[in-house]
């Protein structure tokens, strides 16, 4: 029988029992919807994170103390004190790092900030004015502290919008007021605008002070949590990374690269790491979603077996009228494939719609820089997998149908 007629016959067979067909399809719809949704959201999340990394600027290099974490147990080693003042001096030496543009030490921690009777616990960053440029933030009111204030251990602070609101209230003046951190009075010189989560740092709940002040009076440490170096051009990033490693190994008397007590992060590496993590997560979730597709496939097999038994007489008749085993096999296989393909298409449409809806909610109500992602791979995968499920789970019932002897089938009551 020609395939187009087999297709029509199969479609007619399915339409004969509409509610059963619809329920069978539902199993596949749920599976495919889940896969498409997970993959679309995964891709969206990845784009969001990558976008934030890119916003740091591709010339930026971060030096992190401790060994590069290779597993969970290494994570704590980043809180070591291996980056010290003499390292900073060595890095600032133009002979060591010729292509360095700006170098900024960074310390951070959490301390309670008090204004009158209000208290709040922001993340406190100790930095230089360069901070503003690297993270692309500038005060809405007031100013960033100056290099002189950094050199002079000045008690000045730039606060995030949420910090301001918590301590001063939404409508009250905060600029030039004094806040207390660890019993020390700091003058508010700048207030950041609302920015939301960006670059893994929520500046709304942050307070930025000169790193000198932070080291000396707030955290009582003599090392840095990060040293951020900006290369003078993107072309010189790789070169500068090497220069930094050589300089720091010299400074720390390290001869073997595996003994490094620091590691260097660039935007390119961060993108690679984050992509790997989000890809693995997305795939894992998609695999979980695929289990529901498997269940849907078993549902199809079950219904097809029932259908084959119910239509024993019809199969017998078709054989008596000249249908070959192959005709019957193709017929029932097509029914299964139509079921899964229709389910797949509905699932893709539903999954994309849900993903789009979620992206709208995230952007409009949660102010995230989320972009709806159209996962082409997932759509191809969804259609492919649903057809394969149809083939796989339809094959057994279709074979059962094709093997029926015409006379047994015609006698069947």
- Which residues would be at the binding site for another protein (CB under 8 A)? 1-2, 5, 9, 12, 16, 313-314, 317-325, 327, 405-407, 410
Report the nearest approach of another protein to the CB of residue 42 (Å): 45
**Orientation angle between helical segments 312-320 and 267-310, nearest 10 degrees:** 80
* Closer to another protein by Cβ: residue 255 or 413: 413
Dihedral sign, Cα of residue 25, residue 26, residue 32, residue 33: positive
How near is the Cβ of 304 to another protein at its closest, in Å? Answer: 19
CB of 21 to another protein, least distance (A): 14
Q: How many CA atoms lie within 13 A of 157 on its CB side?
A: 29
Indicate the residue among 350 and 410 with the shorter CB distance to another protein. Answer: 410
The continuous run of DSSP H or E covering 190 comes out as: strand 184-192
> Contact 315/399 with Cβ under 8 angstroms?
no
Q: Which is nearer to another protein, 277 or 306 (CB)?
A: 306
Q: How far is the CB of 317 from another protein (least distance, A)?
A: 5
Closer residue to another protein, CB minimum distance, 103 or 323: 323
CA distance 278 to 282: 6
Distance CA 218, CA 215 (A): 6
- CB closer to another protein out of 56 and 409: 409
Smallest separation (angstroms) from another protein to the CB of 314? 7
Q: Measure the N-to-C terminal CA separation of the chain; round to a whole number of Å.
A: 27
Give the shortest CB-332-to-another protein separation in angstroms.
15
Nearest distance in Å: CB 402, another protein: 11
CB-nearer residue toward another protein: 51 or 406: 406
49 contacts 279 by C-beta, under 8 angstroms: no
In the complex, least distance from residue 405 CB atom to another protein, rounded to whole angstroms? 7
Considering the complex, state which of residue 162 and residue 319 has its C-beta at the smaller distance from another protein: 319
User: Closest separation between CB of residue 305 and another protein, Å?
Assistant: 21
Contacts of residue 25, Cβ cutoff 8 Å, sequence gap at least 6: 339, 342, 343, 346
- How far are the Cα atoms of 241, 249, 250 from residue 100, in angstroms, in the given order? 10, 17, 18
Decide: 149 and 120 in contact? Cβ < 8 Å: no
Residue spans of beta strands (DSSP E) within 220-371 = 226-231, 262-266
Which residue's CB is nearer to another protein, number 4 or number 253?
4
Q: What does the block give as tokens for 372?
A: 């709806």
Short-list 297, 260, 280, CA closest to 386: 297
Q: How far is the CB of 343 from another protein (least distance, A)?
A: 23
**Count of CB atoms situated within 10 Å of the CB of 238:** 13
Task: Give least dist CB 333 to another protein, A.
Answer: 17
Residue 257 CB contacts under 8 Å (≥ 6 apart), including other chains: 245, 249
Asked if 90 and 250 count as a contact pair (C-beta separation under 8 A), the reply is yes
Q: How far apart are CA 405 and CA 413, in angstroms?
A: 14
* Cβ closest to another protein, residue 72 vs residue 321: 321
E-strand stretches of 241-359: 262-266
Residue among 232 and 327 whose Cβ is closer to another protein: 327
H/E stretch holding 306 reads: helix 267-310
Angle formed by the axes of helices 3-15 and 18-55, to 10°? 100
Closer by beta carbon to another protein, 250 or else 405 = 405
CA-only gyration radius of the chain, Å: 32
- Which residue shows structure tokens 């979980």? 288
């Amino acid at each position: 029988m020609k395939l187009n007629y087999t297709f029509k016959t199969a479609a007619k067979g399915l339409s004969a029992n509409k509610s059963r067909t619809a329920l069978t399809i539902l199993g596949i719809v749920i599976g495919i919807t889940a896969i498409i949704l997970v993959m679309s959201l995964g891709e969206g999340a990845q784009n969001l994170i990558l976008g934030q990394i890119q916003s740091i600027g591709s010339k930026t290099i971060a030096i992190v103390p401790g060994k590069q974490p290779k597993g969970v147990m290494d994570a704590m080693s980043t809180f070591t004190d291996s980056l010290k003042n003499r390292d900073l001096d060595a890095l600032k030496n133009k002979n060591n790092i010729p292509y360095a543009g700006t170098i900024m030490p960074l310390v951070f921690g959490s301390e309670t900030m008090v204004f009158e009777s209000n208290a709040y616990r922001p993340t406190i960053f100790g930095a230089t004015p360069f901070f503003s440029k690297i993270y692309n933030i500038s005060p809405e009111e007031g100013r960033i502290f100056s290099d002189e204030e950094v050199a002079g251990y000045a008690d000045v602070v730039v606060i995030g919008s949420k910090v301001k609101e918590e301590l001063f209230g939404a409508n009250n003046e905060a600029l030039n007021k004094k806040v207390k951190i660890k019993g020390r009075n700091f003058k508010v010189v700048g207030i950041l605008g609302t920015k939301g989560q960006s670059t893994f740092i929520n500046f709304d709940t942050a307070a930025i002070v000169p790193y000198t002040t932070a080291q000396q009076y707030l955290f009582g440490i003599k090392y840095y949590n990060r040293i951020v170096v900006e290369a003078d051009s993107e072309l010189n990033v790789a070169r500068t990374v090497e220069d930094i490693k050589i300089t720091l190994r010299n400074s720390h008397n390290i001869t073997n690269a595996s003994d490094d007590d620091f590691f260097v992060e660039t935007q390119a590496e961060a993108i690679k790491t984050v992509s790997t993590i989000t890809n693995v997560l997305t795939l894992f979730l998609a695999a979980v979603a695929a289990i529901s597709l498997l269940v849907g496939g078993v549902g199809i097999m079950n219904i097809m077996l029932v259908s084959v038994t119910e239509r024993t007489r019809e199969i017998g008749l078709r054989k008596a009228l000249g249908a070959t085993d192959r005709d019957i096999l193709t017929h029932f296989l097509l029914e299964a494939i139509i079921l899964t393909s229709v389910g797949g298409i509905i699932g893709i449409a539903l999954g994309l719609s849900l993903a789009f809806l979620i992206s709208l909610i995230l952007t409009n109500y949660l102010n995230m820089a989320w972009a709806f992602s159209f996962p082409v791979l997932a759509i191809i995968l969804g259609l492919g997998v649903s057809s394969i499920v149809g083939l796989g789970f339809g094959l057994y019932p279709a074979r059962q149908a094709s093997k029926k002897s015409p006379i047994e089938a015609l006698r069947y009551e």
